[in-house]
Structure formats: structure tokens, C-alpha cells
């Protein structure tokens, strides 16, 4: 009991109960108690007053028949009961008799002696007895004067149990108590760091408790089947997340639900909830990731974690050309930026971003072939489509020549779509300017992927918006794009008549893999035992009382006529 208010109330109640029992005992004995002459004899053995004599006599009667006593010891006890205690031989006989009792009996008699101020223990034993007999031993133990109080294995365990693990077990007695200490007391030690994995306490327990203690102290030693036996859902959910398995959502959602939402599904609305659920180390990593997205700068470990790329790309909104040479992540971000600019109608921006792939490479630097092919394709399309806007015919022709060179680079690896795009560019270049049709892909003009389903509904939505804005020129461009798509659909070649971007949409996708940096480490399993019960604490207290028999004095102190011990 560590609550000072509750401890004080418990102590007051215990003292009132003790006084009431003493009054009842005196009332029932009447004048049959020890005479003044007998009390003077007992005073020389440190027993002062009728109540103290009665408590000693009750103990002597209880231990007098112990089978382990010698004849001399039994005779010594009988003489003391008869009223002639022997100062030299009584205490050794009392110690021998108490040693024959059950631990609870020993504790009961020591409590009775302590209550009537019979001090038959040496100084260290008296200090421990005061704590064992206290109604609030936790407060006694944490007092500044009690820090140095120590004892045997049972007393050390009692000190730990009474303070709920705040006072650790000495290493010297740890092995002696691990086999019988209540599991709740071991949990107290684990909570306070007084029991470590290096101590291997599971070696001294049965199979179920050993598994529980391993989960508390050495969680990495627990396998999936053992976690199932324990019903350790936190570990099972962590393992499932790392194995990229489907995890069932919980109510309320836990850190694994939030990691899945934010990192895998890129639900940015759940970022703050994830931040609150993560341990401190991973919380710092997430905040560094979010702050890095402001300028597109992250540390090397973050950039190398492919499982974070989707989240990084979703948080980062670059306004300048992205340098694809920095890493594969930046190359994918640059490629997606070029494509987004293309669909938004910013062909010049798309061209500048795509051309960043084609120049300034260091020796030995390389990117996956597919990414380079897509970059050359975007560059070819944007260069060709913007060629009519060049300052003069010569510049326009030079742009078409450059567009053809880009298309040739994209087709070098034999992609059939890239070859068809190259044929489109060559046809445009060979066709006189006045006879060329539109070179744009109408799907891209509409802000859609090539051949996207539902394009007609998208067009209707756009038309209504332009009509609301009274933007007739945009309505005209929209109608022209729709007509071109309808016209292409009526012919056998279909949408192949358009320059196609991208060649393969999958090359633009960011990897959907499990992150490593934001995943919390495996924490020990949470405590499952309740606080140490009163019955368990009393059992330990009784065993500690038996240890006090080693501190019995060989000869008793006596009291002077003023009642002080000498």
C-alpha cells in the first residue's frame, strides 16, 4: 500500500482493532492475569506489563508441545508457563519451538510480541520485524531510514512486493526466489527494470509462465505459434504488416491500421492520428519526413526506404524541375511531374522536366531503361506538339527533328508503342505544315490517360463548367477533341492514330512495399497480472518472519523499574 492517506487510515483502523482485542482479553481474564510478583520476574526478560506477559504465555503454550524440542527445552518452557522463567535458557527454547510452527504461526506470535513491545530480536532483526509488523510496510520501506534494511530471500521479496517493485531484489537472492515468487511480483520487477532478460527467470517457471515471461522480457524470442497461444494480437498484427498480409481493422484503430492508411493507401487525413500513435523514435522520423516534403529533401535512409516513396510523393508538390539524377525516387517523381504537366496543358513545363533526363548525366549513372524510354516519349511529344509555336519555320523544323531524335531513343529497345510514336513524328515531319492535322493526343488534352474509360462523362462535366464560366474557346477545343476521339473510334486502327503517352503506365507507379523506417520496434507484451493480492503478500510476510528466527537473541534484555530496556 503506497498511498499515504490510505496507509494512515489502515494503520489507525488496525490499531483500534488491536486495542479492542486487548480490552476484550483483559475483561475475559479478570483478576486471573499474572500477579505483580510474576510480572517482576518477567521484567528481567524484557517483558513489561500484564498484557505482554499474557502474549508471551500464549506463545509458550502454543510451542511447548512441539515434537522437535529436547527434554531440557520443554522443561524450560514448562517452568516459564508456571511462572518461573529462566533468563539464560528461555530464549533458545522459544526459538526452537517457533521453528517447529508453520510460517503463519510464527508470524502471528512475532506480531503479538511486537505489539506488546517484547524485543527478543537483535537490532537488525528488530528493524525487519518493525517492517513486517507494519500495517503500511510500503511506506516503512521507502522511508529514508529504511533504505539500508536488508534480509534474507523472503524478506527481500517482501520488500519488493510491498513496494510494487520499487525496491529491487538483490542479485544474491534472485535465484532463490524465482521458483516460488508470485508471478505478479515478478511483473512488478519487470515494470521497474529490476528483472531483465539476462536473468532468464523463465528457466525457473512452468511452461505457461515461462512463455509469458519471455514475451515480457525477450519478445523477439517468441514465434508466431507461441504468440497465438498467448493471444498476443499486437505482435501478430505487426508480423502481418511486415509480411504484407491483410490485417483486419480494429475499433478503435491502432498504429497498424494507421500505418496502412497513411503509408500504403496514402490517406493524408490520418497523418496526425498516426503521429500520435507512433512511439517517440518513429514519431520523429515521421515529422522529419513531413518537414522534408516542404523542399523535397530527405536523409539517405528515408530515400532508400522504398515503402515510404508513395507517402513522400503525395506530400511533396515540387514547383521547380526535379533532378532525376539524385536517385530512383527522384526520377519517378520527375517522371510523374512531367506527365502531370502534360495532362494539365503545360507542355513547356513537361518538356523541360522530361529533358532533365537526357542531359548532364555523370559517368556510370543510370536509371531503369523503362523510365528513360518514358522520359524520351514525353520529351518527343511535348517537343513535337509545341513546334508550331516556334518563332519561325526553321525553328519549328528543328524542333520536329529533335522530337524525332527523342522518339528514336524511346524506340531503341523495340517497344511497339514507341515505334508507332516514332512513325507519327516522322509523318508529321514529312507532311507540309499546311496539310498537317492536330498532333495532340485528345485524351491528354482532356487531362485523361490515353484511352481512359468514362471520357464522355468527363467531357460533359467539363462542358458544363466552361458553360458556367462562359468560356467559349475552351468549349470549342473540347468539342474538337471529342470529335477526334469519335472519329478514331470509327476506324479499324482506333486510338492508335494518336501519339501515345505513356508507353506503360506501370512504369510511373511508385512501389507498394512495406516501409521499414516508420514501423515501431517489437515492444514487450503488456502486463497481464493484477497487483499482488493481500493473500500472496501475507504468505511472503510469513516466510520472511521465519527468517527472523535467525535474529533471536541468546539472552533476553531486562527492564529497570522505569520500564526501559537494558
- At 61-106, the pLDDT tens digits run 999 888 999 999 999 999 999 888 988 899 999 999 999 999 999 9
Per the CB < 8 A criterion, the answer to whether 8 and 15 are in contact is no
**Letter string b/e over residues 203-218, b meaning 16 or more CB atoms within 10 A of that residue's CB:** ebbeeeeebbbbbbbe
- At 345-392, the pLDDT tens digits run 999 999 999 999 987 555 445 788 899 999 999 999 999 999 888 778
Per the CB < 8 A criterion, the answer to whether 118 and 49 are in contact is no
Arithmetic mean of pLDDT, 475-499: 88
3-state SS record for 7-25:
HHHHHHHHHHHHHHHHHHH
Residue 559 pLDDT grade (very low, low, confident, very high; cuts 50, 70, 90): low
What is the structure's pLDDT at 511? 93
Q: Give yes or no for residue 244 having a pLDDT over 80.
A: yes
What is the structure's pLDDT at 2? 56
Per the CB < 8 A criterion, the answer to whether 534 and 182 are in contact is no
Per the CB < 8 A criterion, the answer to whether 141 and 132 are in contact is no
What is the structure's pLDDT at 562? 52
Helix H or strand E encompassing 348:
helix 347-355
- At 107-144, the pLDDT tens digits run 999 999 999 999 999 999 999 999 999 888 887 787 65
Q: Which residues, 6+ apart, have CB-to-CB distance to 427 below 8 Å?
A: none
Residue 148 pLDDT grade (very low, low, confident, very high; cuts 50, 70, 90): low
What is the structure's pLDDT at 193? 92
Q: Give yes or no for residue 470 having a pLDDT over 90.
A: no
What is the structure's pLDDT at 40? 82
The three-state secondary structure class of 121 is strand
Q: Give yes or no for residue 164 having a pLDDT over 70.
A: yes
- DSSP state, 549? G
Residue 26 pLDDT grade (very low, low, confident, very high; cuts 50, 70, 90): low
Q: Give yes or no for residue 29 having a pLDDT over 80.
A: no
Cα–Cα distance between 529 and 52 in angstroms, integer?
A: 42
Task: Give residue 84's Cα distance to chain centre.
Answer: 68
Q: Give yes or no for residue 36 having a pLDDT over 80.
A: no
- At 179-188, the pLDDT tens digits run 999 999 999 9
Cα–Cα distance between 264 and 116 in angstroms, integer?
A: 72
Arithmetic mean of pLDDT, 437-447: 90
- Count Cα atoms within 13 angstroms, Cβ side, for 152: 17
* Nearest by Cα to 418 from 431, 429, 409, 426: 409
Q: Give yes or no for residue 286 having a pLDDT over 80.
A: yes
Cα–Cα distance between 480 and 474 in angstroms, integer?
A: 10
Per the CB < 8 A criterion, the answer to whether 83 and 550 are in contact is no
Residue 220 pLDDT grade (very low, low, confident, very high; cuts 50, 70, 90): very high
Residue 203: what are its φ and ψ, rounded to 5°? -65, -25
Arithmetic mean of pLDDT, 13-34: 63
Arithmetic mean of pLDDT, 169-179: 92
Per the CB < 8 A criterion, the answer to whether 518 and 263 are in contact is yes
What is the structure's pLDDT at 560? 56
Q: Give the DSSP per-residue string, 46-102.
A: T--SHHHHHHHHHHHHHHTT-TT--HHHHHHHHHHHHT---TTTHHHHHHHHHHTS-
- DSSP state, 169? P
* Helix pair 183-191, 153-162: axis angle to 10 deg: 70
Q: Give yes or no for residue 16 having a pLDDT over 50.
A: yes
Which triple of cell numbers denotes residue 156?
A: 527481500
- At 385-419, the pLDDT tens digits run 998 887 788 888 899 999 999 999 999 999 999 99
In the chain, what are the helix, strand and coil shares in percent, each to the nearest 5?
Answer: 65, 0, 35
How confident is the prediction for the chain on average, in pLDDT? 89
Residue 31 pLDDT grade (very low, low, confident, very high; cuts 50, 70, 90): very low
Q: Give the DSSP per-residue string, 227-288.
A: HHHHT-HHHHHHHHHHTT------SS--HHHHHIIIIIS--GGGHHHHHHHS-HHHHHHHHH
Which triple of cell numbers denotes residue 566?
A: 537494558
Q: Give yes or no for residue 27 having a pLDDT over 70.
A: no
Per the CB < 8 A criterion, the answer to whether 136 and 545 are in contact is no
Cα–Cα distance between 470 and 72 in angstroms, integer?
A: 121
Q: Which residues, 6+ apart, have CB-to-CB distance to 192 below 8 Å?
A: 165, 166, 168
Cα–Cα distance between 230 and 232 in angstroms, integer?
A: 5
Q: Give yes or no for residue 43 having a pLDDT over 50.
A: yes
Cα–Cα distance between 376 and 387 in angstroms, integer?
A: 16
421: how many CB neighbours lie within 10 A of its CB?
26
- DSSP state, 441? -
Residue 147 pLDDT grade (very low, low, confident, very high; cuts 50, 70, 90): low
Cα–Cα distance between 56 and 514 in angstroms, integer?
A: 74
What does each C-alpha distance from 259 to 57, 167, 250, 264 come to in angstroms?
72, 39, 13, 7
Amino acid at each position: 500500500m503506497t498511498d499515504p492517506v490510505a496507509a494512515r487510515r489502515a494503520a489507525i483502523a488496525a490499531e483500534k482493532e488491536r486495542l479492542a482485542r486487548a480490552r476484550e482479553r483483559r475483561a475475559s481474564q479478570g483478576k486471573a492475569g499474572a500477579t505483580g510478583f510474576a510480572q517482576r520476574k518477567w521484567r528481567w526478560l524484557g517483558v513489561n506489563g500484564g498484557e505482554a506477559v499474557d502474549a508471551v504465555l500464549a506463545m509458550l503454550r502454543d510451542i511447548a508441545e512441539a515434537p522437535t524440542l529436547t527434554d531440557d527445552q520443554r522443561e524450560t518452557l514448562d517452568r516459564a508457563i508456571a511462572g518461573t522463567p529462566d533468563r539464560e535458557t528461555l530464549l533458545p527454547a522459544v526459538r526452537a519451538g517457533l521453528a517447529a510452527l508453520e510460517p503463519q504461526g510464527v508470524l502471528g506470535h512475532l506480531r503479538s510480541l511486537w505489539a506488546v513491545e517484547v524485543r527478543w530480536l537483535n537490532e537488525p532483526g528488530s528493524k525487519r520485524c518493525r517492517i513486517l509488523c507494519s500495517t503500511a510496510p510500503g511506506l516503512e520501506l521507502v522511508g529514508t531510514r529504511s533504505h539500508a534494511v536488508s534480509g534474507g530471500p523472503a524478506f527481500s521479496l517482501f520488500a519488493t512486493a510491498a513496494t510494487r517493485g520499487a525496491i529491487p531484489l538483490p542479485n544474491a537472492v534472485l535465484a532463490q526466489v524465482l521458483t516460488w515468487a508470485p508471478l505478479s511480483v515478478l511483473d512488478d520487477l519487470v515494470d521497474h527494470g529490476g528483472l531483465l532478460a539476462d536473468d532468464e527467470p523463465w528457466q525457473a517457471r512452468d511452461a505457461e509462465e515461462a512463455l509469458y515471461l519471455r514475451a515480457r522480457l525477450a519478445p523477439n524470442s517468441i514465434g508466431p505459434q507461441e504468440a497465438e497461444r498467448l493471444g498476443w494480437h499486437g505482435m501478430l498484427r505487426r508480423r502481418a504488416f511486415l509480411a504484407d498480409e491483410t490485417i483486419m481493422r480494429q475499433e478503435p484503430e491502432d498504429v497498424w491500421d494507421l500505418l496502412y492508411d497513411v503509408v500504403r493507401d496514402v490517406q493524408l487525413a490520418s497523418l496526425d492520428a498516426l503521429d500520435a500513435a507512433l512511439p517517440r523514435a518513429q514519431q520523429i522520423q515521421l515529422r522529419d519526413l513531413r518537414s522534408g516534403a516542404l523542399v523535397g529533401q530527405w536523409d539517405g535512409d528515408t530515400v532508400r526506404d522504398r515503402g515510404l516513396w508513395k507517402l513522400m510523393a503525395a506530400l511533396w508538390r515540387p514547383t521547380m524541375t526535379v533532378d532525376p539524377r539524385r536517385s530512383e525516387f527522384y526520377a519517378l517523381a520527375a517522371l510523374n511531374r512531367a506527365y502531370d504537366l502534360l495532362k494539365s496543358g503545360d507542355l513547356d513545363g513537361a518538356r523541360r522536366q522530361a529533358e532533365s533526363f537526357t542531359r548532364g548525366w555523370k559517368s556510370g549513372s543510370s536509371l531503369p531503361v523503362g523510365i528513360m524510354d518514358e522520359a524520351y516519349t514525353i520529351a518527343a511529344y511535348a517537343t513535337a506538339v509545341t513546334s508550331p509555336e516556334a518563332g519561325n519555320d526553321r525553328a519549328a523544323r528543328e524542333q520536329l527533328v529533335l522530337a524525332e531524335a527523342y522518339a528514336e531513343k524511346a524506340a531503341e529497345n523495340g517497344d511497339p508503342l514507341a515505334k508507332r510514336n516514332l512513325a507519327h513524328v516522322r509523318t508529321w515531319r514529312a507532311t507540309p505544315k499546311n496539310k498537317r492535322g492536330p498532333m495532340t493526343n485528345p485524351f491528354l488534352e482532356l487531362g485523361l490517360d490515353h484511352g481512359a474509360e468514362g471520357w464522355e462523362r468527363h467531357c460533359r462535366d467539363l462542358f458544363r463548367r466552361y458553360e458556367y464560366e462562359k468560356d467559349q474557346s475552351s468549349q470549342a477545343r473540347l468539342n474538337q477533341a471529342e470529335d477526334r476521339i469519335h472519329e478514331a473510334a470509327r476506324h479499324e486502327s482506333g486510338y492508335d492514330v494518336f501519339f501515345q503517352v505513356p508507353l506503360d503506365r506501370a512504369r510511373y507507379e511508385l512501389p507498394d512495399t512495406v516501409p521499414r523506417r516508420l514501423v515501431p520496434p517489437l515492444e514487450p507484451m503488456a502486463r497481464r497480472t493484477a497487483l499482488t493480492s493481500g493473500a500472496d503478500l501475507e504468505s511472503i510476510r510469513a516466510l520472511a518472519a521465519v527468517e527472523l528466527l535467525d535474529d533471536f537473541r541468546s539472552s533476553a534484555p531486562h527492564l529497570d523499574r522505569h520500564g526501559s530496556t537494558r
